[in-house]
Amino acid sequence: MVTDNKRHIVYSNRYIEEYFGYSPHELVDADLFSLLSKASQIIYEAYIVPLIAREGCCDEIRLTLVTSAEKLMPIVVSARHDSVYDRIFWSISSVSRSNQLFEKLTETKSLLEQKVSLLRTLKDTDPLTGLPNRAALTKYLDQEMLSRKRNGMAFAVAFVDLDGFKEINDRHGHHVGDKTLQLMAERLTGNLKSDDMVARFGGDEFVIFLKDCFSASLVEESLTRLVSKLAEPFKVDTLPLNLSASIGVTLYPQAKDVEPGQLIRQADQAMYQAKLAGKNQVCLFNTDNEVVQKEKHSELLAIRAAMEFGQFELYYQPKINMRTGKVFGVEALIRWNHPVEGLKGPATFLPVLSNTPTGLALGRWVITTALCQQQIWLQKGLKLQVSVNIDGYHLQHPQFLRDLSAILSDFPNLPKQLFEIEVLETSTIEDVSHVSSVLNACRLMGIRISLDDFGTGYSSLSHLRDLPVDTLKIDRSFVKNMLTSNNDLAILKGVIGFAHAFGYGLVAEGVETLQHSQRLVELGCECGQGIYIAKPMPARAFPTWIDEWYQQACQEKYKNSFV
Amino acid sequence: MLTKEQVVARNNVTIVGSGEKTLMLAHGFGCDQQMWRHLIPHLKERYTLVLFDYVGSGQSQISAFSESRYRALEGYAKDVTEICQALNLTQVHLIGHSVSGTIGLLASIAHPELFASQVMICPSPCFLNMPPDYYGGFECADIEELLGLMDRNYIGWANYLAPLVMGLENSELLTSELSDSFCSTDPVVAKAFAKATFFSDYRHLLPQAKHEALLLQSQQDSLASPDVGHYMHAHMPGSTLRLLASEGHCLHMTHPELVAQEINTWLRD
């Protein structure tokens, strides 16, 4: 079709007639607009005229044509302007191909939209549990902290670590481990509010973002509920299993500005505290804790340095038979010759060492040093039983027996039965059967075992039954009050009765006066130690003391009562 | 208030020619300032010409587009007044094509202090038929069909798909590159302009006109018929109607000399 500069049709061919019903002579001089729908007329004025004015042509523009039968028919037109004759040449074609293209493009667009959203999802999702992953968590936390600055809402971040997951993985394989993680993920999401966010941080670690947290106690309460839910027994493929979780939680906002990463670290630290405190519980992070952690760290560093500089020393307190006066042994007690603070007792530095590698190292040093001293004395003809104190955590350490035999092998000439281990903090022993087997192994080597501070811990009696021991050491608190308190005297009598019934040896601690000694002997406890006999002393002072003891002190102190 | 630089970038403002009188040329629906290219040579010797693209058209910053602002012609009128304010223009003669006649009217009523007069090329205050008093030329169904055709006509299909493929971060850069090709704007944006243009009825504004206006109407124009011209003239105080012996809706492109002559005559008086 050809039109002039006034839109009048000057020529149309037989295809126009064939498809749209207008014969060529019918169209001559007709306005092109008489063939176009109203909407097409707007497209013509708004797009085609400017395009032709600028480019001299336009391509593949979709319009609607009105046929001679007054049907609306979609068409695609292209136009070329002939500037010499000021004519426009039109090509008009069926719309089916363009329609197909349009449908395809629409399909492609929706497919692309799906794929893009799938990719976004995959990027932010942990494939195993379907939970948001660490990257998504970080992004989410950043956003929430930003919006927190605007809306002022408080929130909490909790760090969850499964207790005993590694064992499940090791014992039953990754298949069971994976299913366990999926199940725990379900329990986490199922037991939290829908607007709380749970992310898998890595391995068996999850991070929970709790919205709208009004108080620490509410947060602790809901997380404690969560802990008990997580600890419920479960099954993987009919295999009955159970584990628990330790959760650390920190609150936001805080007095000082914190970064998102710092919040996660705080929650992680609190989680570690929950583990130390015995697992299967919630521990709240507080900024004071952070200070305590830092102080603890610097104390440990100082102790390490003190070990290197040889500032630790063993003092020895004699144990005697109060009936015969015989000095049969010594208890080795650790002291710290602090360059600034002077001589420090164990109560000032042992607590911080609990459950640390430094604590274990110091324990090994004590054993070695005591054995060394014992050998020196033996070479001088002093045959003494030497006892050392070993903490519960040291005893339970998997390396303990191996370390002990290695140390002992350096002293092949020492009679093992002269060496005694005093077991401390028996009430904190968690795995009694494990400790029992360790102590048995020690006794098989010939080492003697005594229970220290006997009578103070709640579980002492069951320990008597379960732990293999040679001697009970009666706690100083009973001895101290035995002369004035009938109750303490009764306990003392009971302990002495137990020891005789089980066939254990007895040593009383805290013998402060002659009366104590005499009364103890009367009650059937012949052995004792305490300041009435002698204070703990450096090794170098011991030979002089024992000489004096035998020459006169014992006679003076015990008024020649020894047999 | 936006700075001059911000507005110039946002609306792709260009200034050509020199002269005491300032003419601001406002394009109509479907195109951009390129549509003035045939008219400019006839005017630039005598006047200072301020050209621009509405946000969403031509090489404007598409990032400035907001559906709420540009849902109605008032939003486009703000573009006009903001350009005048940022460039410190006063006594502006506003030359508006088609819907820009109405946009100019909105702008000059809101900020009469900025303008001196209006020239409306093929204007229409309402494109819809409002029987029995007024026939704008179109039924709602025609406009619905227009929106459908626009969807199918987008030369800028790449525009439509690319933001998805490339991610949102790059889309602005890409869109501005693609906008170089004539008339290929974002379909969402173009349809917003179409709806604001063709579904609206601003006839009630005509009596409020605060400046003299020259109405240039084509003898044959199905988008803005002579009847529409007569209607406007009858309702606008201080208006002059000139029916030109021409066809079509884009007089300034098809008959630039004629339009220039009319403008010169108008501004001389």
Weakest mean pLDDT among A91-100, A501-510, A512-521: A91-100
Asked if the model's pLDDT at residue A66 lies above 80, the reply is yes
Instruction: Say whether residue B34 is in contact with chain A using an 8 A CB cutoff.
Output: yes
Chain A residues near any Cβ of chain B (below 8 Å) = 5-7, 33, 37-43, 45-47, 49-51, 53-55, 61-64, 98, 102, 105, 108-109, 112-113, 116
- Report residue B20's pLDDT band, with 50, 70 and 90 as the boundaries: very high
Q: Give A-chain residues touching B164 at CB under 8 angstroms.
A: 109, 112-113, 116
Cβ of B253 and A116 within 8 Å?
no
In order of B186, B188, B218, the CA distances from B154 in angstroms are 8, 10, 29
Q: For residues A353-363, give the mean pLDDT.
A: 87
B139, B149, B223: residue with CB nearest A63: B149
pLDDT score of A560:
63
Q: H-helix or E-strand containing B105?
A: helix B99-110
CA distance A263 to chain B (A): 29
Helix count (H) and strand count (E) of chain A? Answer: 22, 22
pLDDT tens for each residue of A297-333: 888 889 999 999 999 999 999 999 999 999 999 999 9
Whether the pLDDT of residue B60 is over 80: the answer is yes
pLDDT at A289 over 70: no
Instruction: Return the residue of A nearest to B147 by Cα.
Output: A39
Angle, helices B73-86/B99-110, rounded to nearest 10 degrees: 60
**Mean pLDDT, chain B, whole residue set:** 87
pLDDT digits (tens, 9 = 90+) for A244-278: 999 999 988 887 778 888 889 999 989 988 888 77
Percent residues over pLDDT 90 in chain A: 53
For the record, the structure tokens of A434 come out as 């494990």
Euclidean distance between CA atoms B155 and A55, whole angstroms: 15
Between CA B182 and CA B170 the distance in angstroms is 21
* Whether pLDDT at A109 is above 90: no
Residue B248's pLDDT band (boundaries 50, 70, 90)? confident
Q: Is residue B211 among the annotated active site residues?
A: no
Show Cβ contacts of residue B197 under 8 Å, excluding neighbours closer than 6 positions: B29, B73, B98, B99, B127
Of A38, A50, A109, nearest to B160 by CB-CB distance is A109
Q: What is the pLDDT of residue B58?
A: 86
Q: What is the C-alpha to C-alpha distance for residues B207 and B202, in angstroms, rounded to an integer? A: 11
The average pLDDT across A119-145 equals 89
Q: Give how far B234 is from chain A: nearest CA, Å.
A: 26
- CB contact (8 A) between residue A64 and residue B149: yes
Closest Cα in chain B to A40: B146
Nearest CA in chain B to A117: B164
Please tell me the distance from the alpha carbon of residue A549 to that of residue A344, in angstroms, as a whole number.
Answer: 27
Pair of tokens at residue A42: 């707007």
Number of helices and strands in chain B (H, E): 11, 9
| Whole-number average pLDDT of chain A | 88
Least confident of A95-104, A117-126, B108-117: A95-104
Looking at A277-347, list the stretches that DSSP marks H as alpha helix, in order from N- to C-terminal side. Answer: 287-308
Q: How far is CA B197 from CA A42, A140, B99, in A?
A: 11, 42, 6
Note whether A253 and A154 are within 8 A (CB).
yes
Query: Does B176 score more than 70 pLDDT?
Result: no
> Which one of the listed residues B27, B97, B111, B249 is annotated catalytic?
B249
pLDDT band for position B68 (cuts 50, 70, 90): very high
Which residue in this structure is represented by tokens 């090329």? B121
Residues A11-29 have a mean pLDDT of 92
Contact A62 B145 (CB under 8 A): no
What integer pLDDT is reported at residue B170 of this predicted model? 40
Q: Do B142 and A63 lie within an 8 Å CB cutoff?
A: no
Quick one: which of A500, A486, A495, A502 has its CA closest to A460?
A: A495
Average pLDDT over residues A385-408: 91
Per-residue pLDDT of A340-351, as tens digits, reads 999 999 888 888
pLDDT at B218 over 50: yes
The more confident residue out of A485 and A215 is A485
* Cα A201 to the center of its chain, rounded Å: 11
pLDDT number for residue A563 = 59
Does residue B249 carry a catalytic annotation?
A: yes
Mean per-residue pLDDT, A528-555: 91
Instruction: Name the CA dihedral angle for B94, B98, B104, B105, rounded to a multiple of 10 degrees.
Output: 120
Asked if pLDDT for residue A476 goes beyond 90, the answer is no
Q: Is the pLDDT of residue A458 over 70?
A: no
| Residue ranges in A65-133 assigned as alpha helix (H) | 96-124
Tell me which residue of B87, B127, B92 sits closest to B2, measured CA to CA.
B87
pLDDT of residue A290: 67
Contacts of B150 in chain A (CB under 8 A): 43
E strands along chain B, which residues?
A: 14-16, 22-26, 48-51, 92-97, 115-121, 129-130, 134-135, 212-220, 239-247
Choose among A37, A45, A112: nearest Cβ to B223: A45
pLDDT for the residue B165: 45
The span from the CA of B166 to the CA of B159, in Å, is 11
Closest residue in B to A102 (Cα–Cα): B152
Q: How far apart are CA B216 and CA B101, in angstroms?
A: 10
Q: Given CB atoms, is B41 within the 8 Å cutoff of chain A?
A: no
The residue of chain B with its CA nearest to that of A8 is B247
Mean pLDDT of A508-516: 92
Task: Identify the pLDDT of residue A475.
Answer: 87
Q: Which residue of B153, B160, B250 is in closest CB contact with A49? A: B250
ipTM: 0.85
Residue B184 has pLDDT above 60, yes or no: no
Q: Which residues of A fall within a CB distance of 8 Å from B197?
A: none
In one letter, which amino acid is A269? Q
- Binary contact (A102, B182; C-beta < 8 A): no
pLDDT of residue A61: 87
- Mean pLDDT along residues A99-112: 80
| pLDDT of res. A102 | 74
List, in order of start, the domains of chain B with CATH numbers: 4-268 (3.40.50.1820)
Do the chains contact at A112 and B164, CB–CB below 8 Å? yes
Please indicate whether residue B38 is annotated as part of the active site.
Answer: no
Contact A45 B250 (CB under 8 A): yes
- Quote the tokens at residue B75: 């939003």
Please answer yes or no on whether B183 and A37 come within 8 Å at the CB atom. no
Q: Please list, residue by residue across B39-57, b when 16 or more beta carbons sit within 10 angstroms of its beta carbon and e when fewer do.
A: bbebbeebbbbbbbbbbbb
pLDDT at B117 over 70: yes
Looking at A89-98, A378-387, B243-252, which range is the least confident one? A89-98
Q: Give the residues across from A89 on adjacent strands.
A: A2, A80
Test the B interface: residue of A31, A32, A38 with most B CBs within 10 Å: A38
Nearest residue, CB atoms, B183 vs list A6, A50, A64:
A50
What pTM was estimated for this model as a whole?
A: 0.49
Torsion of CA A323, A328, A333, A335, to 10 degrees: 100
- Interchain CB contact of B31 with A (< 8 Å): yes
Of the pLDDT bands very low, low, confident and very high (cuts 50, 70, 90), residue B172 is very low
Query: Do residue A53 and residue B253 have CB atoms under 8 angstroms apart?
Result: yes
CB contact under 8 A, A43 and B248: no
